[in-house]
Amino acid sequence: MTAAREAPVSEWVTIPDMYRDPFPIFQRMRAEAAVHWVPSVNRYMVVTYDECHTAEMDGETFSADETGSLMKRSMGHSMLRKDDPEHAPERAAWQPPLRPGAIKTVWREVFEANTERYLDRLADAGDAADLIWDFAAPLAAENLRSILGFVNATQEDLQRWSQTMIDATGNYADDPVVWEKGRRSSEEVDRAIDELLPYYAAHPDASLISGLVNMPGGERLPIEAIRANLKMTIGGGLNEPRDVIGTAAWALLENPDQLGRVLQDPALWPVAFDEAIRWIAPIGMYPRETTRDVELGGVRLPAGSRLGIVVLSANRDERVFEYAERFDIAREKKPHLAFGGGAHYCAGAWVAKSSVAQVALPRLFERFEGLEIDGDRETSAGGWVFRGMLKLPVTWQRERKGAAA
Ligand code: HEM
């Protein structure tokens, strides 16, 4: 066994470069070491598959409860920043409406209706149609609004809340305008929740907030936990389905042979979904903090080290995935890390799979025959903590309204 060494100090890694195109940077980092100290982000970055997996499976050593967390400041202390045993009861309260049974009996139908509505909007946008802003973003927001039960808010409210609170969570520059926008959204969410608690006590339904109000045995989570976890879910349950719709559509439109195979065999939609989040993980990095001195990937980490678990890089680790940079629905099936792992494994994974792989993507390609990227307008992607398409202009040859779902 080789002796552990200090982490390489990677001053050449900058935030603007990672925002533009993180993949060549991560490739070089993986070749040099599993763990780097990166001054521009003021934390260690864990970039290889095995080491990301080790960290997410060992919550005792790699705590989610980060000191000085900006997420806690902007949204309150949610389950995402708690370790077990404190994390477990909040996670258990969140689970029932997000399970496959509830999706089958309640939400699938809602996802279908919402999808038709925003396909109409995409059609109406005509020559100016953008797949992200006319379809993926409002659809993801509307689906989340339905599941959570925000009957007193619009999908536009959810998009604004989500973006401003996420911006505050990443406000390392301490910009007062960003804090102010985040604070305003946080207060709007609190007011909306205050209205909904008595409403759902009188009108129970299948939504998450209703479930929180009417928990078995009459127990309730403390109000701070309800608020913080709803804000975290608004921040964490909207961009990712939006971004996987964009990434998967882009990848398939750029690879017509693979699109052809999926259209021939709709059982391949979940495979395309899974490969899209393997290829570009919508949540690129999430934080952890060491609770003791530890060695990870041959690198010494003192207790209290702040880490970034870079699943966007781990999912492209060439030691695990052959020709990892390529989008390929025929690749050998192996577990990827896009939904995280261990105690914090994404609570909304079934919702994402159903709403995107079973409904949004198949219906999009059924409805718009000859869908393609509009080469006369700019297509762009961005991000590394969250990564997705920024612009995806599309055109089509023929619309088949009302085709069977
Ligand atoms: C493709 C879509 C999605 C991806 C890639 C994704 C990814 C993730 C990841 C990586 C985590 C763990 C983060 C960490 O450990 O710090 C997580 C947690 C979580 N996700 Fe998702 N997510 C998606 C969709 C959703 C949706 C639609 C919802 C809600 C309806 C949701 C709700 C949650 C919740 C509540 C947690 C916290 C779980 C816990 O702390 O125990 N996610 N997600």
Residue 404 placed within a domain: no
Residue 276 placed within a domain: yes
Give the chain's mean pLDDT. 96
Alpha-carbon 379 to chain mean position: 21
Residues with CB under 6 A from ligand 1: 79-80, 91, 94, 98, 144, 147, 233, 236-237, 240-241, 244, 277, 282-283, 286, 338-340, 344, 346-348, 351-352
SS (H, E, C) 210-274: HHHHCCHHHCCCCHHHHHHHHHHHHHHCCHHHHHHHHHHHHHHHHCHHHHHHHHHCHHHHHHHHH
Residue 405 placed within a domain: no
CB 355 within 8 A of CB 112: no
Residue 9 placed within a domain: no
**Whose CA is closest to atom 42 on ligand 1?**
348
Q: For 175-202, how does the pLDDT look when each residue is reduced to its tens digit (9 = 90+)?
A: 899 999 999 999 999 999 999 999 999 9
Q: Residue 324 pairs with which residues in a beta bridge?
A: none
Residue 175 placed within a domain: yes
Q: Find the mean pLDDT for residues 395-403.
A: 83
Residues 6 or more apart whose Cβ sits within 8 Å of residue 205: 149
Segments forming the whole domain that contains residue 141: 15-399
Residue 261 placed within a domain: yes
Residue 404, pLDDT score: 47
Q: How far is the CA of 72 from the centre of ligand 1 (A)?
A: 16
Q: For 105-119, how does the pLDDT look when each residue is reduced to its tens digit (9 = 90+)?
A: 999 999 999 999 999
Mutate to test the pocket of ligand 1, among 346, 353, 384 (most ligand atoms within 8 A of CB): 346
Residue 74 placed within a domain: yes
Q: What Cα–Cα distance (Å) separates residue 358 from each residue in 36, 78, 111, 350, 405?
A: 39, 30, 9, 11, 9
CATH of the domain at 366: 1.10.630.10
Residue 170, pLDDT score: 82
Residue 403, pLDDT score: 52
Number of domain units in the chain: 1
**Whose CA is closest to atom 27 on ligand 1?**
237
Band of pLDDT at residue 218, cut at 50, 70 and 90: confident
| The 35-38 sheet, strands edge to edge | 35-38, 43-46, 306-310, 285-290, 62-63
**Which atom, in ligand 1's list, is nearest to the CA of 64?**
16
Q: How far is the CA of 68 from the centre of ligand 1 (A)?
A: 21
